[in-house]
Structure formats: structure tokens, C-alpha cells
Structure 1
Amino acid sequence: MNQQPNNPLHGVKLVQILEDLVDYYGWEHLGYKIDIRCFNYDPSIKSSLKFLRRTPWARKKVEELYLEWLSKTKK
């Protein structure tokens, strides 16, 4: 078995991360927190997923924000 009990991102799909962040912050504030074009200009889940899957540094920033959000909302 390849389990990762200490990894909060294990089993969480990128689409779920993005949807949770958009629901919580909204596109405008998300674009302010992570300044990437797909969040600031004509944002959509589809275009953002495409960009994040091809751009490791941007995906890392989104995952870091998600972990920060998780720690805030799980208290």
C-alpha cells in the first residue's frame, strides 16, 4: 500500500482544490492572492486546471494556499 497519512493533499484532486478556493475566496480575491493570468482575466475552472496542470510553480502556490485555507477552516 502506498498510503500517505501525513499528506493532507493525498487523495484530493486539483479540481476539488480549485473549486474550494474559488468558493471561499472568489476569483477576484484568488487572483489577488495568487497573481496568475488565468485567475485574473476571464477565469474559469477549465482554463485554470489546464494552466495549473502544465505549470508546476503555479500549482505549488495553489496547493500552498489550499493548505493554508485548510488550517484556517478546520479549527
Structure 2
Amino acid sequence: MTQEQPNNPLHGLTLEKIVTQLQAHYGWDGLAARVDVNCFKSDPSIKSSLKFLRKTQWARDKVEALYISTFSKQSPWSR
């Protein structure tokens, strides 16, 4: 069952896309400074980060919150 979530800024985004965009924006060091998890500090890669975040809900929540605060600043013209 698919639900419409027009107000959910993460709707339609995969975890891989979220991590990839954050990594491109902040780099691994910037990500590690904002979300204190070893998968961003020690030999980081998209694949290892996804594996960890899929198993660790609190870390995934922090990454998703960072994505929202970084990329979901809506301008009045984007509505």
C-alpha cells in the first residue's frame, strides 16, 4: 500500500540517495562532524554507511534529519 506524503520531504528518496547527496555536500569529515558514527569516520564508503544505517535506526534518523535541515529549505516560489 503506497501512501501519498506530499508534506514529507523524504518521500520518494532512497537512503542511498540521501547519503550520497549529504556526502557530496559535506564530505566524509563534515558528515562525521554532524553525525557522530564510525561509518563516516573510519574508512567511509557509501556501501558501508548504508549497511550500518539500515541496521541502526537512531543513526538513520539523525542522517535523515540532517538531510531535511540541509536541503529542504523551501523558498516561497517552490510551492
| TM-score above 0.5, yes or no | yes
Identity over aligned pairs, percent: 55
Match of 2:57 in 1: 56
Q: Which runs of 4+ in 1 moved over 4 A?
A: none
Pairwise mapping of residues 1-75 of structure 1 onto structure 2 (< 5 A)? 2-72=3-73, 75=75
Q: Structure 2 CA distance, aligned partners of 1:62 and 1:46?
A: 15
Q: Which protein has the larger Cα radius of gyration, Structure 1 or Structure 2?
A: 2
In structure 2, stretches of 5+ residues that fail to align are none
> Offset at 1:30?
0.6
> Offset at 1:56?
0.3
> Offset at 1:2?
1.6
Q: TM-score, normalised by structure 1?
A: 0.92
> For this pair of structures, how many residues does the alignment match?
74
RMSD (Å), alpha carbons:
1.2
Q: TM-score, normalised by structure 2?
A: 0.88
**Code of the aligned partner of 1:14:** L
**Code of the aligned partner of 2:61:** K
